[in-house]
Structure 1
Amino acid sequence: MSQAVAWSDAATAAQLFAVDPVGTGVLLRSRAGPVRDRWLAMLRAALPPTDAHKHLPLHIAEGRLLGGLDLSATLVSGRPVAERGLLAEADGGVLMLAMAERMQSSTTVHVTAAMDAHETLIERDGLSLRMPARFGVVALDEGLEDEFAPASLRDRLAFHVDLDRFSFRDTEEFEINAADIEVARQRLPLIRATDEQIEAIVTAAAAMGIVSLRAPLLTIRVARAAAAWSGHTEIDQEDIGIAARLVLAPRALYFPQAEQPDQPEPPPEEPPPPEDNSEDNKDQDEQQIPDIDRALDEVILAAAKAAIPPDVLASLRASAGRTRARSSGKAGELQKSNKRGRPTGTVRGELRAGAKLSVIETLRSAAPWQPLRRREAAATAAEAIAAGGEAAPQPRILIRKDDFRIARFKQRTETITIFVVDASGSAALHRLAEAKGAVELLLADCYVRRDQVAMIAFRGTIAEILLPPTRSLARAKRSLAGLPGGGGTPLACGLDAAYALADSIKRKGQTPTVILMTDGRANIARDGAPGRPKAEEDAIASARQLRAANINAVLVDMSPRPGPQGEKIAKEMGARYLPLPYADATVLSQAVLASTQAA
């Protein structure tokens, strides 16, 4: 498909979205630039000026999104006054989602729920209200490579438009008359799809590997919008073809295998003479219906296949089901905090040391109770005056201890990768060379990944911290350079040292990850006595200690012939077992990163 045709389809998507914004929706995958600005300008020209246009920022508070108590109006009037949220304000218009690939999961849940129910539910601050929220969604996805908008949001948007493939010279302005859009909107409710068309669309979607039931429904909505835009009174094959190109093609994972060339058919037999039998004519008509359905299926598949650029289906299959990867340094545990991080709401609490009072939420909590508290205060003052005393002056807003709301935050903790290296035996030099190379490769990315690396070596009868947590590449090289090898394998001592270091890291609010590099053949017990049975028993006990502490771990079996010992230790640790009998520093580094991300 040429760039001109592809841009024409992108412009058609803008037109059809303007005809039925609530029933369709657009996922616009494009970086900021003149191409995206031109497409958005076409969309604004197509939408009637009376429609509401709202922009949803990335980090929006839940109260602003859904609505709640209007604090100022409530305090002035002395009674609860509801405030409309952004979703309710977008009713009858279009909601623009900025940076949809980074949208918070809670925001995604509220937006998709409003898209399904066409209303928002407010149950907070003593309010229980339902507000209409029928709006179209334009999600701006600026993600790179494997960054995508949430799957639940993508599934509900009919048009998936990718503008990164266009340069500005490939685009042109399309004149869109808002009056024609209004006429098409009036014609849209009168257009319906037939049962044969619905069956053909569902069959074609299944043939393309599309498992979502929303895709055929969105295809029907787009086909109706295309018919209304073209001035048709019913949906024809051209309208279905447009819908298949715009809705089904971007979602397709594969196409049916091409059929084998047809064998030469025998000459057709002489048809029997027609008979004046109404029952026979009825049977003949029923036999022709499957042929019509097959022809419509082929039209839909051909239209969708023509809209897909070459080699795109292969990449879609490769990326199907792939989750968004995170770098090891940014994948630390999400911990609650009352001092810093990303705001995540408030909680009822006391003003203890370090707690931050949310003044707005505290006033919001106290506002509905002001009339009752004023009456109680007036009654108390009247009793004081009747007893011959003086009434104390009352504040304008009566706040009690139960009204206090403490701000809560969440922040990603820093990740520290602890290498625990078996430095015993004749092959220690080979394993240490791989460990040194892996550590250096990881340190090279520390500034980007915000990660730290530590190293513990065990041999003979002891284990020592060779490299404390650091980002310094020079310090790591100096520490690794003079490490000797040889002696027994005190695996239990190495695991105990890893547990102690990981526990101290965890107490500081950071996230430890243990990478144990060994063959699992322990022969030195925890007390330094030789003997394989006692050494294995101590190693298993130390491994269970790491699992009980819920420390993320990976065991890299560096034995030339991986045996059951390493896998058994990994199971007791609750670690991922990674046998690598022949691995260089690069392979080891890649395997460690993949393991920590998967964990």
Structure 2
Amino acid sequence: MSRPYPFTAVVGQDDLRLALLLNAVSPAVGGVLVRGEKGTAKSTAVRALSALLPEVGVVPGCRFSCDPAAPDPACPDGPHEPGEGSARPARMVELPVGASEDRLVGALDIERALAEGVKAFEPGLLAAAHRGILYVDEVNLLHDHLVDLLLDAAAMGASYVEREGVSVRHAARFLLVGTMNPEEGELRPQLLDRFGLTVEVAASREPDQRVEVVRRRLAYDDDPAGFTAQWAQEESAVRARIVAARELLPSVRLGDGALRQIAATCAAFEVDGMRADIVMARTATALAAWAGRTDVLAEDVRQAALLALPHRRRRNPFDAPGLDEDTLDRTLEEFSGDDDPDPDPDGGPGGGGGQPSPDEGPQGGDAGARPEAGEGGEPQASGSAEQSAVRAAEPFRTKALSVPGIGQGAAGRRSRARTEHGRTTGARRSRGTLTKLHLAATVQAAAPHQRARGRTGPGLLLRRDDLRQAVREGRESNLVLFVVDASGSMAARQRMGAVKGAVLSLLLDAYQRRDKVGLVTFRGSGAEVALPPTSSVDTAAARLASLPTGGRTPLAAGLLKAHEVLRVERLRDAARRALVVVVTDGRATGGPEPLLLAAKAAGLFAADEVASVVVDCESGPVRLGLAGKLAGELGGTVVTLDELRADRIAGLVKDVQGSRSRRAA
């Protein structure tokens, strides 16, 4: 096994290193979420942290890492008597994005449990991470059912495994660290709030610093052992400092003045709940201990706010995390207390918190909020002239759109699907590993054979062929592909703001339902893929905000481009079903017989049975009904902008077959 890259050899990324070290000093801070572009040493720094953590004492032979000084009385391997134990390095356990539920929480031997009444339990990753680090790379791509399990364990400090009346419970207290690239999708708000701190990282734009990054990485790759040895002294110094800060932590005083500043700051930034106040208090205390002080200063509170609040003040997935530092400074000044001692000029936590690495660079990440999306006013008139980007109207809650039938795609919240989680709808003979036992069907299959098998006692004699797997129905995520008409006709009567607001509303709905989204636009002489299918709905919103309008209406080109996107995406992920949302007034111009060409292009979607919805943007007293005709040619349904709102009529998307039956009639 290769040696991890030394933590102190990471160049720059001061905020990231400080956040990780504060959690090493005080695990009660609650973990770190690291957001940033790819290739910014996120995973490298996290993996390097485990080598700095002090050793933990464990009960010999306990698979659940019980503390010998205070063993868990409910430990499945217990009971343990308090006493001396053995020491081992703190673990860093990685949770793969594609892990199964059994891999995370552990698995029961169902056959032995039913036949012998034995609780044969194989611990999972939550047990392995107890008293250590649970690291999730690409945490934003984690399936919802695993997120739910993590939330439960983080809230209760324990993991519960219950299957068909057999229950196992064990302690699961861990430092949760996640890394993510925001371009690949955002994190569920419930899990986002469970991370104590968040850090935005970005690659340095300083040539000298980038040169040093490359130099060190190449040296490490050529000789990991030698490179690690060069940094051994710095690593030992940081390790000793963590131990000293942990010992000092109980003596740190959090005065009333600092508490008032914490409470006022959380109120000023309108964060939800009280968790932010508690995390800020713990972070400020850890900052003081890391600096070798026993009193929390105003600069500790300020640094704690920059680390603990940005991800808690988001109101929707299109809000960039960040704090207005002017507002922060004014709040701290207004509520400055008199009980704070004079600051220690040598022990402040500024920058990298006094880390020993000699080459620390500028702080990583941009804490500033994203500027408002969209520029310019409403378009003046329709026509072939180019129009500036129009600001989107306020988003609203939309009616539920879904793909008809039952799919088998990735877990989500949109369309019906066969999944490992959800309500039980039937049973089938077990093939391969049994994951969800259908108890009644299993007993029913075994019951007729008990006499032939020689059963004489109360036990049920089971064989492998008796086991039945539960068939469950839940919800899947889909690919929602938006095909947006950005031509001059859409700019008429100042409609584009309302159109963008409707698409933005659908993007919000896609975020909540864990969908992938794509954006195809058509205007002028052709169509383009403004956003290839992605899980990052905020990227789609940014592309939508900057979308200009004007020119002719090449509807056929837009449909053909969308059909090509779907073809390529099916090759990548055949199980994910698509929902095409065409936003247009139905007009088509440019070239000979444009409406006929559009009808032929729409027929490709109908032939492939792709679920589709046409959002009719036509307005005015005279309406041609072209969007409705397009929906019929697509084999889908049509809905107006007003009908898209959740408080309007119900039942927007109907079964494709039903739509065809009505057309045939």
TM-score > 0.5 by shorter chain: yes
1:20 aligns with 2:57: no
Partner of 1:266: none
Q: Of the candidates 149, 153, 164, which is equivalent to residue 110 of structure 1?
A: 149
Supply the AA of the counterpart residue of 1:40.
Answer: V
Deviates more, 1:408-417 or 1:219-228: 408-417
SS in 1 for 2:30: coil
Supply the AA of the counterpart residue of 2:194.
Answer: R
State the Cα deviation string for residues 17-65 of structure 1 (Å, max 9, x = none): 2122343311112344363354235423322362222111112222332
Q: Distance in 2 between matches of 1:69 and 1:213?
A: 37
Cα offset, 1:12, TM superposition = 1.8
Partner of 2:614: 514
Supply the AA of the counterpart residue of 1:91.
Answer: H
SS in 1 for 2:97: coil
1:360 aligns with 2:433: yes
Q: Distance in 2 between matches of 1:104 and 1:398?
A: 30
Q: Distance in 1 between matches of 2:617 and 2:586?
A: 11
SS in 1 for 2:433: helix
Asked whether the 8 Å contact 2:280–2:304 carries over to 1, the reply is: yes
Partner of 1:293: 337
1:182 to 1:477, Cα distance in 2 relative to 1, 3 A: farther
Supply the AA of the counterpart residue of 1:345.
Answer: E
TM-score, with structure 2 as normaliser:
0.52
Deviates more, 1:169-178 or 1:146-155: 169-178
Cα offset, 1:248, TM superposition = 4.1
Q: Distance in 1 between matches of 2:482 and 2:51?
A: 52
1:8 aligns with 2:17: no
Partner of 2:140: 101
State the Cα deviation string for residues 164-195 of structure 1 (Å, max 9, x = none): 24364476886453343234334434445233
Q: Of the candidates 550, 554, 557, which is equivalent to residue 437 of structure 1?
A: 554
Task: Write out aligned runs for 1:430-579 (5 A).
Answer: 436-441=553-558, 443-444=560-561, 446-448=563-565, 480=594, 510-516=610-616, 518-519=618-619, 521=621, 551=637, 553-555=639-641
Cα offset, 1:150, TM superposition = 2.4
Partner of 1:194: 255
SS in 2 for 1:315: coil
1:88 aligns with 2:188: no
Partner of 2:402: 333
1:318 to 1:293, Cα distance in 2 relative to 1, 3 A: farther
Supply the AA of the counterpart residue of 1:51.
Answer: A
SS in 1 for 2:289: helix
SS in 2 for 1:87: helix
State the Cα deviation string for residues 478-500 of structure 1 (Å, max 9, x = none): 6517799xxxxxxxxx9xxxxx9
Asked whether the 8 Å contact 2:446–2:462 carries over to 1, the reply is: no
Q: Distance in 2 between matches of 1:94 and 1:339?
A: 33
Identity of counterpart residues, as a percentage? 22
Task: Write out aligned runs for 1:136-285 (5 A).
Answer: 136-144=175-183, 147-166=185-204, 168-169=210-211, 175=235, 177-248=238-309, 252-254=322-324
Partner of 2:77: none
Partner of 2:540: none
Supply the AA of the counterpart residue of 1:397.
Answer: R
1:376 to 1:234, Cα distance in 2 relative to 1, 3 A: farther
Q: Which of the pair has the greater relative contact order for Cα pairs under 8 Å at 6+ separation?
A: 2
Cα offset, 1:95, TM superposition = 0.6
State the Cα deviation string for residues 300-343 of structure 1 (Å, max 9, x = none): xx989xx9999853417769xx9xx9xxxxx9736674766667
Supply the AA of the counterpart residue of 1:480.
Answer: P
Supply the AA of the counterpart residue of 2:402.
Answer: E
Partner of 1:287: none
SS in 1 for 2:13: helix
Asked whether the 8 Å contact 1:69–1:125 carries over to 2, the reply is: no
Supply the AA of the counterpart residue of 1:84.
Answer: P
Cα offset, 1:567, TM superposition = 12
Q: Distance in 1 between matches of 2:372 and 2:252?
A: 36
Q: Of the candidates 415, 420, 428, which is equivalent to residue 345 of structure 1?
A: 420
Q: Distance in 2 between matches of 1:201 and 1:441?
A: 53
Gaps spanning 5+ residues in structure 2: where? Answer: 1-9, 56-88, 217-230, 312-320, 344-348, 352-361, 375-391, 412-417, 490-522, 526-549, 570-577, 653-665
1:249 to 1:294, Cα distance in 2 relative to 1, 3 A: farther
Asked whether the 8 Å contact 2:258–2:336 carries over to 1, the reply is: no
Asked whether the 8 Å contact 1:241–1:303 carries over to 2, the reply is: no
1:177 to 1:479, Cα distance in 2 relative to 1, 3 A: same
1:313 aligns with 2:368: yes
Q: Distance in 1 between matches of 2:196 and 2:302?
A: 15
SS in 2 for 1:513: strand
SS in 2 for 1:130: strand
Asked whether the 8 Å contact 2:37–2:181 carries over to 1, the reply is: yes
Q: Distance in 2 between matches of 1:374 and 1:101?
A: 46
Asked whether the 8 Å contact 1:67–1:85 carries over to 2, the reply is: yes
Q: Distance in 1 between matches of 2:156 and 2:276?
A: 18
Partner of 1:62: 101
Cα offset, 1:510, TM superposition = 3.5
SS in 2 for 1:436: coil
Q: Distance in 1 between matches of 2:593 and 2:480?
A: 23
Q: Distance in 2 between matches of 1:512 and 1:522?
A: 25
1:78 to 1:196, Cα distance in 2 relative to 1, 3 A: same
Partner of 1:36: 42
1:405 aligns with 2:470: yes
1:52 aligns with 2:122: no
Asked whether the 8 Å contact 2:323–2:367 carries over to 1, the reply is: no
Q: Distance in 1 between matches of 2:28 and 2:597?
A: 67
SS in 2 for 1:177: helix
1:46 to 1:314, Cα distance in 2 relative to 1, 3 A: same
SS in 2 for 1:293: coil
Q: Distance in 2 between matches of 1:192 and 1:155?
A: 26
SS in 1 for 2:162: strand
SS in 1 for 2:450: helix
1:377 aligns with 2:450: yes
State the Cα deviation string for residues 424-451 of structure 1 (Å, max 9, x = none): xxxxxx9999773355346445544667
Q: Distance in 2 between matches of 1:259 and 1:157?
A: 24
Q: Distance in 2 between matches of 1:309 and 1:362?
A: 44
State the Cα deviation string for residues 444-476 of structure 1 (Å, max 9, x = none): 4554466769999999xxxxxx99xxxxxxxx9
Asked whether the 8 Å contact 1:27–1:157 carries over to 2, the reply is: yes
Asked whether the 8 Å contact 2:95–2:125 carries over to 1, the reply is: yes
